[in-house]
Structure 1
Amino acid sequence: MTTEPQSALLEQAMRAIARIDLAGARRYCEEALHQQPGDAAAMHLMGIMIHHEGGKAHEALGWLERAAAHDATNSKYQNSCGVLLFEMGRFQEAAQAFYRSTNLDGGDGLIWNNLGNALLRLGQAEDAERCFRQSLAVMPGLISAINNLGLALKFQGQLEKAAICFQEAALHQPGFVDAHFNLGELAYYTDDMEAATRYFRRAIEIDPNCRPAYASLAQVLHDQEKPAEALALLQDAVRRFPDDADLEFALRLQLSSMVPAWHIPMINDTERNRAYDAALRAAVSPGDLVLEIGTGSGLVSMMAARAGAGQVVTCEVLPALAEAAVETVARNGFSDRIKVIPKKSTQLEVGTDLPEKADVFVSELVNIGMLAPNMLQVLSHARQKLVKPEAKIIPAAARVYGALLECPHLARINPVHEIEGFDLSYFDRFRSPAYAQIDLAADPHRFLSAPFTALDFDFCTEMPMRDQRRLLISVRETGVVHGIAFWFDLFMDNTTTYHSSSVSRTNHWKQAAEFFLAPIAVAPGDELAVEVGYDNTRIWFKPIR
């Protein structure tokens, strides 16, 4: 290549990136670095070019970090590091990079917006709100910052203000799909299904590639008791986007919908019942107002009344269960103190459904893997809107444990492949996409690692609605890892803990297992990298290759 001035080489590289000539961009960057190895601008451009190539995030980040180290006064280099760290899911490090960038240049609204996004992912909604407001102070027309301000306000429970932000973003930029999607999410959250349907359909009209809108619209249709329409929508979405795991999960969930038959074994779970009873006896003072979410049979509400509550308000979304609970409460003589409301908890209002905010808040929303769909969102709403700041919360926290699992007999049907010489893989679509139940006291299995702590949850405080981290799990036995077995402790209060690892035959939860798509052979001394995380739907474990 003919020697050119450094500035010309960098300009040529930027033009090559713009026309998606990545090979050409790399040649210009390499020549620029050959001429001046310490040129921060060339390092920065090399990192951007490598990132555009895809699949080489760590290599790209290395160049960006070197550029930032060579020129510590350039805010753009720090911002680029933050953007890539954010894309990699390293939100704490991204926030630190954005902080450094704002300290160097506080007048760039885009950087403040980026910092707000990182803080929002870390669950720091108030700090994120301040960043978005600062972004708009220096760049008033930044529509994404208006939209993101709405997200920060929504996370803090300021739903009306959040709606104003989303509506303003949509008004100023009618084709801004995020605003319409967020309005749909907000409408769904407040149970305005007609509006939610309208906004999600509009988001899909604006951008047919807005994948989350398909799953959200299907959820709205499902909640409106339109299962055939929801199924058709999801089937179409999966045909459009065959590699989208979230849409596939939503489709599988719709296909596997069934009557909640677990209510009967649940009320027969002696250890679970006694843990709730002990916690309520310790928490409830005479005359307290107790709020319970998820009435079911009415058992926990009656425990609260028996413990001395002056009044118990409990809600149940399924009409048949609500009706049964009313009758059960009456038969046990508690009708004067237990009020069963056939609503979602997010529809309850203080002054209408509750005379005042509750003194004690009890729920049993967990499933076999601890975290049930929408559970964190429901708990957050209750803390913000329905219970006193000093209210006692049952359960107060949870810890999830796991271990590498070898379990051939269950792995054969998770997923379904060949059975008795026949290809039954098409039948696998009817298997629930969630984690499977396993009974570690009865199902033949081996642990190929020591148990480890996977996740901690504090139900008394606001937590991020999504989080993930990387674990290195040491292998202690030779075998084949089929997945992760996991279980949990529910900390009812400081003295009472329910252990889902119990081997009792009445333990209705048993334990959970996340089976990998392909088995992994291991030997002692190996370390298996696994991503563990959660969102508003489920906990997951994924091997990292």
Structure 2
Amino acid sequence: MELTVEQALQNGVEAHKAGKVQEADRYYTAILKSNPKHPDANHNMGVLAVGVGKVEEALPFFKTALEANQNIEQFWLSYIDALSKLDRLADAKAVLQEAKSKGAQGDGFDQVERRLANVAKVEGGQTNEQTLGKAIDLQENGKYDEAIDILLNQTEQSPTDPNLKASLSHCYILNDDLEQAKIYLDAAKNINPNIASIGWNETRLLLKQKKVNEALAVAEKTNKLFPDDVEGMGILGSCLRANGDFGKSLRYLNKAIELNPDYAEALINRGLISLAQEDKASALTDLENAHKLKPHINQIWHPILTLKMEAKDFEHTIALAEGMVKLDPMDEKLFASMALSHQHLKNYDDAVVFYNKAISIKPDYATAYNNMGNALKDQGKLDEAIEAFNKALCIKPDYATAYNNMGNALKDQGKLDEAIEAFNKALCIKPDYATANMNLSTTKNLAVPAWHISMMNDLTRNNAYLEALELAIADNDLVLEIGTGSGLLAMMSFNAGAKEVITCEASKILAATANEIISENGYENKIKVLHKKSTDLLVGKDLPNKADVIVSEILSSEFVGEGVQATIVDANKRLLAKNGKMLPESGDIRIALIGDSEEIREKIYLKEINGFDLSKFNSITGNKFLLKLKNKPNLLSKTEVAFKFDLYGLKIPSKKETILSLKANRSGLCLGIIQWLGIQLFKNVKYENKPGETPSHWSTPIYRFDEPVYVSKGQEIKIKASLFEDSVWFSHQI
């Protein structure tokens, strides 16, 4: 249904009052198309234009409205106000005189006349309006002190101008001088409480004072009086955000930004809402746009830099921070952000330089020390990194992250016991610290490999050692155990009749734990635990005399490894008494050809999978596999002893190689070499972990051929066996 002009005007006014500016504009425009001289539509279009800051465009509308009807008081007042806003004071006075000549009178005209009469000239001939304009420009660029100075000067000339005092109040709020802000706000209210800027500045002051509910009440009241004030829409939106009403806040903020896209404060508030709602992309867009408009607003500097770093835009982060530093060279967090960005870009030297700049500004900057420690660690400067972490912890003793990071640096240094201590301290501070828990577990596995548990649960091994100890140990024997572990063999030794048992352990955590286990089992005064390597023990200091019996179980799956040869040679030479007993006494490495089985083949070879040939993948994998076999393997040859070890007369070879001929005792597909141990513990007490025959905690080494080889019964396969100080290797000689 087509609306009449009056209906359209009424709808426009209602939309206008509701703050629906665009809708109101459509109604007024429609009226003016049919009646270009319509006084109310012209006047209201002028009011709309002023409300969005387009004061110059409002003048023709006000002029047309007056030409159509000079009897409406508000038409004159709106026109005079617009001219005043444009500093056309002579024109404003002329229009006022014209209105009075036509009989205009009342409070509104009296107030306008007083305001125009109070327009005083200052040095340079500036009016109050010109001074306000200059002050606002300074204020918008963050030059609050300069703005305050010129406003104070102008206020002395015009002490009854409420706008000067209201502007002063705003500047003091921005300068965080809330006491002065309140003084000038109250002074402005005493002169004329019905000015929009007074309401908005009172709202700002209450927000600064954290009185968010009171601020919202003032903002809503002021908005009802000045519904078209774009600045007020942003301030009301800010209050609603502070009160947690994001939905309603966004309605006002979006409207303010639509009417004034350069409204920095509204962009900031909308950006902070997006940030609270985890919409980081939108938050960054709004906050960056606000920063471009008003780079001096430092409350958004660090959120912007944080969002930039989270987006991995490190180079732009550095550039932004450099610009911010020019505005505030004493903001230590700006240097820290540059440092962290350089660190992500692997510019570690630059990172350390900027961390030190941050620390020079704030010497107790624990976070900077912690992050600098990480940068130094990434450079491999572990001692310097640990020093930085310690400085962070001196400043902040409950800094769980620093303990965790120091633990990582200590782990990289191989100081596993100290690393474990650091991780435990992190967890004492923060028990639910998942990263520290994970790092602690990883480091414990390095310090105390998981095979310790299966080794101690290996009853076959344990019983063999117990039998050997009971045979070897005589009354009054001094027993030295090398490699305490849990303390099991030490306690067995004492029960076997030893007069004194001394056990040594290189790992601090193992030594400490073994000491507790020994104590809990009632042997605290019978067994002495030393946190030392056996090679560091001194007879006469650590041992009262050379040991009658030395027992150790430091063998790997390949017999050698764990420094076993060097340890045994040293023990024989320095620590074992003449005619003393060594357990084990001897041992050997045993091998055989391994035949095809699904269990082994699936663990060491790839062939056709789901119709695809993946065999090429074998060429990029190693040839040695340590397996835990469930089934008895299919051996294609008799057992062959590759290397023998006499632990009483052991000499360490730099390298020993031999070619072995393994004769197939049956035909079949040969996958490689299988290896295990033979150990003579003492006299006739022997132990062999032959796969499939003896349950064992040791893994079974498999040395895979490059390709499986079919062998016939009686065929000999040449195997090259290589022995090094701490390793062994077997390969197929074609």
TM-score using structure 2 length: 0.37
Counting strand residues as a fraction of each chain, which structure ranks higher? 1
Q: Which protein has greater RCO, CA pairs closer than 8 Å, 6+ apart?
A: 1
Quick check: which has more Rg, 1 or 2?
A: 2
